[in-house]
Structure 1
């Protein structure tokens, strides 16, 4: 999956390739994602979904008995395929690079994630909201994405520590500090419509100071 592909397009590609979902239901799922991203889950009705999909409202309920079931069906491909593919691409192409300084690594990672959020803000609002409140999604997602980040990040951290560029903490603690701080700050920008270009330098300065060697 190419890095430049946005998350909604990736979802649609997964839907197109699936042989287990009837064509009309694929239209329903695609329309649901669009509307949930545009106006939020709570503000979207099944009538609006049916209208956007070009099907009768009964078609929506034929497979998905409730709106919650419909949301679960929309999120499933993200958890099992889309997000892990994007994380793998990010880990290999952005994280696992021959960085020689902490500043270089953090600048590249933060800049890349800001660009990614700009291109996927609406979909990320839906995903992050549900991941924050649903432990089942977190349990499904964590084992799919954490090993990908660890595999590609830890070697970089070891090199930076050897070069006296990084605090000498265990890699899992450094990764937790980096990833948790980035998710929190960038999620804030997503939900408050804060200017991401302003959030970037603050995040970079905070991480660089916190991870600097003693």
Structure 2
């Protein structure tokens, strides 16, 4: 598991109680198969074979395929993604030596790397959001206050120094996330190809920085 990976059996186990090694293998196999084949096209027998366990092991702890999906997505939405966002903002606040352009590049590259490291989980979540948009509504509500409050304090430093214009914080967040999602979502949902994080970051920053700085970059 890389530093950026958050949706692994150990992460889920900490939110749903102790899981055996076989149960962790079931979750990991389920995540991979749901991402590759889709939830509807994956059977509990597929999961058992991929996890190298008996089908009864799959059903004993999680009862149904839907139960497995809930165990993966519920903590992802309610705990894991908010905690990961909080950790990212805490890290961002420590980089006081960076210019705004440098901080923007760092933040974009960090989030693109995060998305690629968690491609399977985000693909499964994206599939479910397409069927249940209320998931996105709940997740946005959980994250917006956290992001706005924490990031506003960071960006005010650059507003005061004249490096950043007076756009509201959430307008900046929407601009960055909207463009970044345009790059990353086709890669996550439709492709197995790796994303060139360095090149993508450079293109996003080159597009947005003049608007954020009033052409000072």
What's the counterpart of residue 196 of structure 2?
Answer: 196
Q: Secondary structure at the match of 2:118?
A: helix
Are 1:7 and 2:13 an aligned pair? no
Answering whether residue 16 of structure 2 is matched by residue 18 of structure 1, we say yes
* Distance in 1 separating the partners of 2:47 and 2:167: 49
List gaps (5 residues or longer) in structure 1: none
Q: How does 1:1-214 map to 2 (within 5 A)?
A: 4=3, 6-9=5-8, 11-15=9-13, 18-19=16-17, 27-58=25-56, 60-61=58-59, 67-94=65-92, 97-98=95-96, 101-191=99-189, 192=191, 193=193, 195-197=195-197, 198-213=199-214
Give the drift of 1:109: 0.7
User: How much does 1:4 deviate?
Assistant: 1.5
Deviation by residue 1:91-144 (Cα, 9 ceiling, x = unmatched) = 110256326533111111122123323322233222333335422322332233
Separation in structure 2 between the aligned mates of residue 64 and residue 177 of structure 1, nearest angstrom: 40
| 1:102 and 1:165 in contact (8 A); partners too | yes
CA contact (8 A) 1:12 1:30 kept: no
Give SS of 1:97's match.
Answer: coil
SS in 2 for 1:8: coil
Aligned partners of 1:172 and 1:84: how far apart in 2? 17
Quote the offset at 1:30 in angstroms. 3.4
Q: Separation in 1 of the partners of 2:50 and 2:187?
A: 29
For the 8 Å contact 1:96–1:153, the answer to whether it is kept is no
Q: Which deviates more, 158-167 or 124-133?
A: 124-133
